[in-house]
Amino acid sequence: MVLNIPRPLSKVAGPREIVRQFVPSWFAVTMGTGILAVVIKDFPFQFPHQDDLGWAYWFFNVGLFGIFSILFLSRWIFFFNDAIPMFHHPVQSMFLGAIPMGLATIVNGLVLFGTPHWGNSATIAAIVLWFVDVGLAVLCGLLVPIFMLTTHSHALESMSAVWLLPVVPGEVAAASGGLLLAVVQNQRLAQNIAFISMLLWGFSVPLSMSILVIFFLRLVLHKLPPSDLIISCLLPLGPIGTGALAATELGLYAKRTFENSGYGVSATTFQSLASATPAIAMFVATALWGYGVWWLVIAIFAIGHTLRNRLPFNLGWWGLIFPLGVFTASTADLYKLTDFYLFRIPAAVLICILFVLWWVVMFHTVVRAYSGELFYAPCLGPRQACTQNELEI
């Protein structure tokens, strides 16, 4: 009798092959796990052990990020020539943006979970990692588009929302910078972080909105993407939700950061900024939230329409988690900023949905990682068929 039960890692040649085939899209797992920890912390209705649950997810996320970082760096050390083609691949290169976005969730957790337990040492670690994250976000936001302009082969018909991935890390870092303002005690440093976050918002959000225009044009002219890419229709929620989240974080902590600062003319300017930023943030975040609702409905329709066919699982399924997660986090922050129940109820519902989705996607990820199916780098070309796919009993 033959059962389709794969042996462990039966679809890869060995542990070295896992390293050689390791791709940056694995960091999407840390993005989704990290944002789930954040939104559990922000759940608008208190429940027992809420902080403990969020802490557990964040701690698990730190472990995942550490393992993935070791595997990714090992690929560059031991298989340098096989890692270079990643930059020239029109899809895999986009997922380089997942690395700084995954790191940003570590920074957020240090602020939300680490500082209450470890005090100032966690704050210092968060600040250091945030500046590293800013550097990676800027590098990714410039380097990958340069490759798109010079070496990649792209066409409107084959475009997907993964074009957003190298651009969005800037605004993700901006949102983390806004959250950092809650714990940074040095006012001058806090102001520098605030201004850098504003610059990163401008570095990322306008370009992301431009890409969304092109993506909508692609949908109108060439209809929905193929089933293996249909999950990417949810990716637009990423830049929209993060743009709103960065605005709300800056709005929540602007007064503390800018009031009683400077001398003479600069003092008046900072005081004006402290009083005006919350109102500006509320307007910008609310407008983006409305835009996000539109894209959410479109994405649900697109995925539901495609469910008539089988949706093949791949790491792109994590595109369900992080974009919905940052949109949910911005919804929870809007409730904090406005005390408006229009945001409180949707935030609670979305967090519950996100929790269920995370378990579904993680289950499929673990099962396929166990067989080795997910350890495959498209930039290296087709993988040879395995000879031991089945377990005979």
Collapse the DSSP code of 340 into the 3-class scheme (helix H, G, I; strand E, B; otherwise coil) and give the result: coil
pTM above threshold 0.85:
yes
Do 25 and 98 form a contact (C-beta atoms < 8 A)?
Answer: yes
Residues 6+ away with beta carbon under 8 Å from 186: none
pLDDT along the chain (393 residues), means of 10: 52 79 94 96 91 95 97 94 91 94 97 92 96 97 94 89 95 96 91 94 96 94 86 92 94 79 63 82 94 95 81 85 96 92 93 96 92 84 45 25
What proportion of the chain, given as a percentage, has pLDDT over 70? 91
What's the CATH fold of domain 19-44+53-380?
Glycosyltransferase (1.50.10)
Task: Count CB atoms within 10 A of the CB of residue 48.
Answer: 6
Separation CA 229–CA 215 (nearest Å): 13
Dist. CA 200–CA 222, nearest whole Å: 33
What's the one-letter identity of residue 264? G
Segment 56-99, tens digit of pLDDT:
999 999 999 999 999 999 999 999 999 999 999 998 999 999 99
Q: Note the pLDDT of residue 11.
A: 66
- In terms of Cα–Cα distance, which of 392, 390, 393 is closest to 10? 390
Q: In the chain, where are the structural domains located? A: 19-44+53-380
Report the pLDDT value the prediction gives residue 33, as an integer from 0 to 100: 97
